[in-house]
């Protein structure tokens, strides 16, 4: 059984529609696909239809942009009730924060002498609610300013670069609570992806486990082998579920092909059992696994 629990569509910063992603997952030999766009459940419905059509299990989720101990932390939320009002409100705030910084970024790029305007970014975003830096990067690529997305980030869009603008990120602990109340489960996405163990020290992970964190995404392209090993040990000590996933973005990210990392079936089953328990406790109408 091949299980990939973290992927993106055009509803955030992937390059595929939900249907294209689901078909690509089937073609890549996956049995279970996790759909986790940034801060939105927009692609859930078309993905559900496509999953039923092609016959693949679909776990609906999202990857929420949060902040903890002064750093950005991506929180995977699986199977929450997407209509739970505090969750809707939190996502709204994040999306507003993201789109409202786009004009400021474009302004800084213009000040740096680049001929770009908001319409270029809107075109690159294909009307998604989650317009953000990746779409500015795509616009810079189509304008021929840079060869690819990662160069755009390195030269212009990352912290410390000329067009970086700060934005709202939800407090991690509060967001975890909201996801759990909505009947879902939480997994830290690529916890040591940016700065290795400094990104989130083991004692901070232990504290989050005490607050109801369900799992750690251990097998991720941004993790070095030695960090995967240590994270696996931490997960075991804290009885956290270990997941692995591609973080696939279609053509939007190199070296993140579907199924390049996978989640072990026993870990997947634990995660789903925890989600079912959370759903039962919350009394919310949660989505459940398709297929
Ligand atoms: Zn992420
Ligand atoms: Zn991601």
Distance of CA 68 from the midpoint of ligand 1 (Å): 14
- Average pLDDT score over residue span 161-168: 91
Q: Could you tell me which residues are beta bridge partners of residue 36?
A: 61
pLDDT at residue number 194: 80
Distance 232 CA to ligand 2 centre (A): 20
- Report how far ligand 2's centroid is from the alpha carbon of 243 (Å): 13
Check pLDDT > 80 for residue 130: no
For residue 141, what are its two tokens? 């690529």
Digit-coded pLDDT (tens) for 54-84:
999 999 999 999 999 989 999 999 999 999 9
Distance 235 CA to ligand 2 centre (A): 20
Ligand nearest to the CA of 247: 2
- Cross-strand pairs, 64: 75
Token pair of 17 as six digits: 């529609």
- Give bridge partners of residue 78 from the DSSP assignment: 61, 185
Across 205-234, average pLDDT? 98
Q: Are 93 and 86 in contact (CB under 8 A)?
A: no
- Say if residue 117's pLDDT is above 90: yes
CA of 225 to the centre of ligand 2 (A): 19
Residues in the chain: 291
Q: Is 117 exposed, middle or buried (0-12, 13-18, 19+ CB in 10 A)?
A: middle
pLDDT at 92 over 90: yes
Taking each helix axis as running N to C, give the angle between helix 172-181 and helix 202-210, from 0 to 180 degrees, rounded to the nearest 10: 30
**What tokens does 14 get?**
């992937």
Ligand 2 midpoint to CA 40 (Å): 12
Model confidence at 100, pLDDT cuts 50, 70, 90, reads: confident
| Residues around ligand 2, an ion, CB closer than 5 A | 63, 247
Start-to-end CA distance of the chain, whole Å, equals 14
State the CB neighbour count (10 A cutoff) for residue 181. 19
d(CA 76, CA 176): 9
pLDDT at 129 over 80: no
How many angstroms is it from 221 CA to the middle of ligand 1? 11
Q: What is the pLDDT of residue 216?
A: 98
Predicted confidence (pLDDT) per residue in 173-209, tens digit: 999 999 999 999 999 999 999 888 989 999 999 999 9
pLDDT confidence tier of residue 127, bands split at 50, 70 and 90: confident
Q: How far apart are CA 78 and CA 143, in angstroms?
A: 37
Ligand nearest to the CA of 37: 2
What 3-state class would DSSP assign to 59?
Answer: strand
What's the burial of 143, exposed, middle or buried (CB within 10 Å: 0-12/13-18/19+)?
middle
How far does residue 166's CA lie from ligand 2's centre (Å)? 19
Tell how far the Cα of 236 is from the centroid of ligand 1, in angstroms: 22
So what's the pLDDT on residue 52?
Answer: 98
**How much distance in Å is there from the Cα of 111 to the middle of ligand 2?**
31
176 vs 98: which has the higher pLDDT: 176
> What is the predicted pLDDT for the residue at 244?
98
């Amino acid at each position: 059984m091949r299980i990939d629990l973290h992927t993106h569509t055009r509803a955030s910063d992937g390059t595929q529609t939900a249907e294209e992603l689901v078909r690509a997952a089937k073609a890549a030999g996956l049995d279970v696909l996790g759909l986790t766009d940034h801060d939105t459940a927009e692609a859930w419905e078309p993905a559900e239809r496509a999953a039923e059509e092609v016959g693949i299990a679909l776990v609906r989720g999202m990857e929420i942009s949060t902040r903890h101990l002064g750093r950005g932390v991506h929180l995977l939320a699986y199977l929450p009730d997407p209509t739970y009002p505090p969750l809707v409100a939190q996502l709204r705030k994040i999306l507003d924060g993201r789109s409202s910084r786009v004009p400021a970024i474009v302004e800084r790029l213009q000040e740096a002498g680049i001929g770009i305007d908001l319409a270029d970014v809107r075109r690159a975003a294909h009307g998604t609610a989650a317009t953000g830096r990746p779409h500015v990067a795509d616009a810079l690529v189509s304008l021929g300013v840079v060869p690819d997305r990662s160069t755009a980030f390195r030269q212009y869009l990352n912290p410390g670069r000329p067009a970086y603008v700060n934005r709202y990120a939800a407090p991690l602990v509060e967001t975890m609570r909201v996801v759990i109340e909505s009947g879902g489960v939480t997994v830290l996405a690529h916890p040591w992806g940016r700065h290795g163990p400094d990104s989130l020290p083991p004692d901070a992970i232990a504290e989050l486990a005490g607050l109801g964190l369900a799992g750690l995404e251990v097998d991720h392209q941004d993790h070095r082998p030695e960090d995967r090993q240590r994270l696996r040990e931490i997960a075991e000590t804290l009885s956290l579920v270990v997941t692995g996933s591609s973080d696939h973005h279609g053509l939007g990210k190199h070296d993140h092909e579907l199924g390049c990392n996978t989640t072990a079936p026993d870990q997947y089953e634990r995660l789903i059992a925890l989600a079912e328990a959370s759903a039962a406790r919350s009394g919310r109408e949660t989505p459940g696994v398709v297929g």
